[in-house]
Amino acid sequence: MPSALPIADPAPADGLLPSTVVAGASSRNFGVYLHVPFCRVRCGYCDFNTYTSDELRGAKRSDFASQAITEIALAHSVMRESSLPARAASTVFFGGGTPTILPVTDLADMLGAVVDAWGLADGAEVTTEANPDSVDRDYLFALREAGFTRVSFGMQSAVPHVLATLERTHDPARIPLVVQWAREAGLQVSLDLIYGTPGESLEDWEASVSQALAQHPDHISAYALIIEEGTKLAGQIRRGQVAMPDDDVQADMYELAEKRFSAAGYQWYEVSNWARDDAFRSAHNLGYWVGHDWWGVGPGAHSHVGGVRWWNVKHPAAYADRISAGVSPAAGRETLDDETRRVEAVLLQTRVREGLPVTRLAASGRTAVAGLIADELVDARAAFAGRVELTMRGRLMADAVVRRLLDE
């Protein structure tokens, strides 16, 4: 089941934000995230806030678009009444769940509501996630017609037994078809991969990398499988039905991916993400990593504006009740102090290719940089120029690097 919400302060029913959010707002990009919490089946490794039909308990998929549109109107009102400057959305991202489980007209209506509320900045990136078996050619052409610019397909693997372990339902032979249709529609294409699945060999992973590269996507994400407590896969591992992913094998898989992606002309820009040109980076995700503003719409969606973070109630039925009552669906929120924002910048910006300014580190963190250079985890030339940038070895040990930078 999905993980629990954080514990924090109650969120006001009117959703109004404190005056502190206005400072520097004009220099921050604004993005919109729409969380569509529906899936046909629950994958065994997934702890995202998603629900299959038998878990909805009275909520209806068919009502979701109108509810999200109501929250968008609330968001626009809250931002205006909180004295935030008018900003067009630079990115819009539909995630889930499986956004494309909904009729394409629903996605178009929600995007239209975003445009009506804020407008889109010039060159705005508009993305939806999609399962390969949840779209056809007509659906993809309709997305482009509605104003979407990008689709991110959950490929995960090209190997049937790996997909079976992950409980993914699509046929790997469908990947070339959906990529071709998306290209014909004029959409940018991203492919998401997962490595380190129990039973996946290095040869299996190389087959998946080769299949992904054969599609010539604009962008590739490759994430190490993390076993989340409470998931079906975690239970299978606990009972000895499948093996725990091996850290050393996952490191070998990452190195193989970097070698193959780099040789094919892709450049890493975040530890788990590669693009064939800087223009094809995920601008929406970069907004998260560098601390810009975004409003999260939908059950369980998280938002951040000017150092204030909040999150919506999780279940679609609870979300529907809040929306129908005309109150904010936020379940809780927190105001980040300067030190927390600095720590989060270290956690996130260290993972990005351009790295972190050394000036964002506390004194102990600056002292730690010399040891990280000696251990070949941080690039020496970049550090002398005032930035912490990970080496290849550092990317494999990014979490350890962050711990040393924050060890006080």
What does the pLDDT look like over 76-120, one tens digit per residue? 999 999 999 999 999 999 999 999 999 999 999 999 999 999 999
Stretch 345-370: mean pLDDT, rounded?
97
Task: Tell which of 232, 262, 290 closes a domain.
Answer: 290
Q: Are residue 104 and residue 212 in the same domain, yes or no? A: yes
Per the CB < 8 A criterion, the answer to whether 2 and 48 are in contact is yes
Q: Is residue 14 part of a domain?
A: no
Task: Tell which of 258, 290, 322 closes a domain.
Answer: 290
Residue type, 107: L
Task: Tell which of 275, 290, 305 closes a domain.
Answer: 290
Give the domain range for residue 68. 19-290
Stretch 337-357: mean pLDDT, rounded?
96
Q: What is the pTM of this model?
A: 0.95
CATH number at residue 208: 3.20.20.70
The rounded distance, in Å, linking the Cα atoms of 366 and 383 is 10
Q: Are residue 347 and residue 282 in the same domain, yes or no? A: no
Helix (H, G, I), strand (E, B) or coil at 84: coil
Q: Are residue 247 and residue 359 in the same domain, yes or no? A: no
- What is the total count of domains within the chain? 2
Q: Is residue 95 part of a domain?
A: yes
pLDDT in tens, 367-407: 999 999 999 999 999 999 999 999 999 999 999 999 999 98
Q: Is residue 305 part of a domain?
A: no
Stretch 138-142: mean pLDDT, rounded?
98
Helix (H, G, I), strand (E, B) or coil at 197: coil
Instruction: For residue 316, name the pLDDT band (cuts at 50, 70, 90).
Output: very high
Q: Is residue 298 part of a domain?
A: no
Beta-ladder partners of 154: 192
Q: Is residue 325 part of a domain?
A: no
Q: Is residue 295 part of a domain?
A: no
Stretch 168-173: mean pLDDT, rounded?
92
Q: Is residue 328 part of a domain?
A: no
Q: Are residue 356 and residue 273 in the same domain, yes or no? A: no
The rounded distance, in Å, linking the Cα atoms of 283 and 200 is 31
Cis omega (within 30 of 0) for bond into 186: no
The rounded distance, in Å, linking the Cα atoms of 137 and 151 is 13
Per the CB < 8 A criterion, the answer to whether 83 and 22 are in contact is yes
Cite the DSSP H helix spans in 326-361.
Answer: 338-349
Q: Are residue 174 and residue 61 in the same domain, yes or no? A: yes
Per the CB < 8 A criterion, the answer to whether 84 and 21 are in contact is yes
The pLDDT of residue 231 is 80
Q: Is residue 354 part of a domain?
A: yes
The rounded distance, in Å, linking the Cα atoms of 37 and 55 is 11
Stretch 314-342: mean pLDDT, rounded?
96
Q: Are residue 199 and residue 282 in the same domain, yes or no? A: yes
Q: Are residue 285 and residue 344 in the same domain, yes or no? A: no
Helix (H, G, I), strand (E, B) or coil at 92: strand
Q: Are residue 249 and residue 383 in the same domain, yes or no? A: no
pLDDT at 5 over 60: no
Q: Are residue 24 and residue 148 in the same domain, yes or no? A: yes
Q: Are residue 381 and residue 246 in the same domain, yes or no? A: no
Q: Are residue 284 and residue 342 in the same domain, yes or no? A: no
CA distances from 49 to 136, 301, 302 (A): 25, 9, 11
Q: Are residue 258 and residue 371 in the same domain, yes or no? A: no
Return the axis-axis angle of helices 174-185 and 137-146, rounded to nearest 10°.
30
